[in-house]
Structure 1
Amino acid sequence: MAEKLTQEKVSELEKYAQSIRYSIVEMVTEAQSGHPGGSLSAADILTTLYFAEMNVNPSDPQAVGRDRFVLSKGHAAPVLYATLAERGFFPKEELLTLRKIDSRLQGHPSMKNLPGIDMSTGSLGQGLSAAAGLALAARLDNSESRVYTVLGDGELEEGMVWEAAMFAAHYKLDNLTAFVDFNGLQIDGPISEVLSPLPIPEKWTAFNWHVILVDGHDIQAIYDAVQTAKTIKGKPTMIVAQTIKGKGVCQMENIADWHGKAPSREQCDLFLSQLNELEAE
């Protein structure tokens, strides 16, 4: 088991997460289009992976032995773009081209356009299958690389997710670690009312995955769960991360309406000032 992160490292990662949230709000406002709520809720997960765990190199984004990441909830592309830019895969200034004509940053991630993206995603339910395929390929190549993926909790309503869950367990893909961004809301409201996938941990346990339940905004807890996943043999791991939709912007938090709505310029200025205050604390 790897050592715990130092408090200094945790503080550093929290600052990265706040910077990523700042970029999310700014870029979605500039585009006047996009999905801020579920991007903000996943920021701590991606920060932990890209800045404390994954073997990736912005100078060599196609390195053969790198770890892979699949954003299964592809509409949350702003969090992936902001994280990759923060990590140095491309200039942060490019974030403001989100969803514009000829931009490399379209509404859903494309592996053909932007360095650091390992799988094009967007149609919900497909990302876990892609991640499982990457994990099986790594095993066949005798590679030590690991595969990570993030699913939305509303996405669990897609049947293909559960086919992939069976596949990954059947092939004992212990080099695969998945997250559910469990913020409880989807575009039409609470997941429990739209088409309930609850109880989430018990379902993944029944599909023969190792399951860990964490606070999805506690970077140390996320990091510890990832370290535990690396010790599990013979089955994939699902980290169920309990999060807050719109995390970091109080007017967005736990409000389904912010699933796919862009702030006005005035709202953006208010939200960015909030994030600046949080970062200064």
Structure 2
Amino acid sequence: MTGIEGYSEKTFEQCKYVNEYGEDFWFARDLQIVLLYKEWRNFAKVIDKAKTACEISKSNVLDHFVDVNKMVHIGSGSEREVDDIMLSRYACYLIVQNGDPKKEVIALGQTYFALQSRKQELQDEFESLDEEKKRLAIRNELKEHNKSLADAAKAAGVETPIEYAIFQNHGYQGLYGGLDRNAIHTKKGLKKSHQILDFMGSTELAANLFRATQTDEKLRRESVQGKINAYNTHLEVGTKVRQTIEELGGTMPEDLPTPETSIKKIEKQVQKKEKLNEVD
């Protein structure tokens, strides 16, 4: 990532702070540097748009954009006070959504903050579940989103089963550093009859769920046309998700452990338990 001249390079994750309540936040001056805005006045316009979007969403702007003052070094050991803003994760998400779409780092920021939000949602939603139930819940959600993704791909020009398989492989290759479905299958040491999604842990499934939902949204939002463009869109999103996982310090999907129990077996166990409960 190329930094603004005179500034050291930073990433979204390196700029993150945590308050006394365990909540993540960022300073606008730091985010300005990461998003490659040379002048504060131009970045302030993006922040104003984000505040407007926050109001439209019926969220309290003051809960997400908190004005603060801080001291900055200006050379020769001197300091001066500047205005800054403490930003919530949601505020940062709104900022990158309203940033310059021509900047590659803006697209990366959109993926980063959306993934952060999704990660938090999953933590809140599945906090009380064990790993097997988490796997089953995310896998079922992924099934539904894959149906929507298939519709979006078809609208873009991906029509035949072979074309859709190629389309899916592009997504996997982006997320798994070049590995396609067959290569992932081999790396996991699965049998021919096994489906790779049935032998993923909750973390790996969550990454694939995010890849699917973001590709679906991008295909529809940008009205992508042509199967080649659809392939490249899936590859691009998968690659961005991988970059974000790397920035977060996470384990790459292909290096995550493969569960011994398949999700199909877990489903059967759950169904059997439900039938027994009905009898009781």
TM-score bracket, shorter-length normalisation? under 0.3
Higher relative contact order (CA 8 A, sep 6+): 1
TM-score (norm 2): 0.26
TM-score (norm 1): 0.26
Higher helix proportion: 2
Determine which structure has more spread, i.e. the larger CA radius of gyration: 2
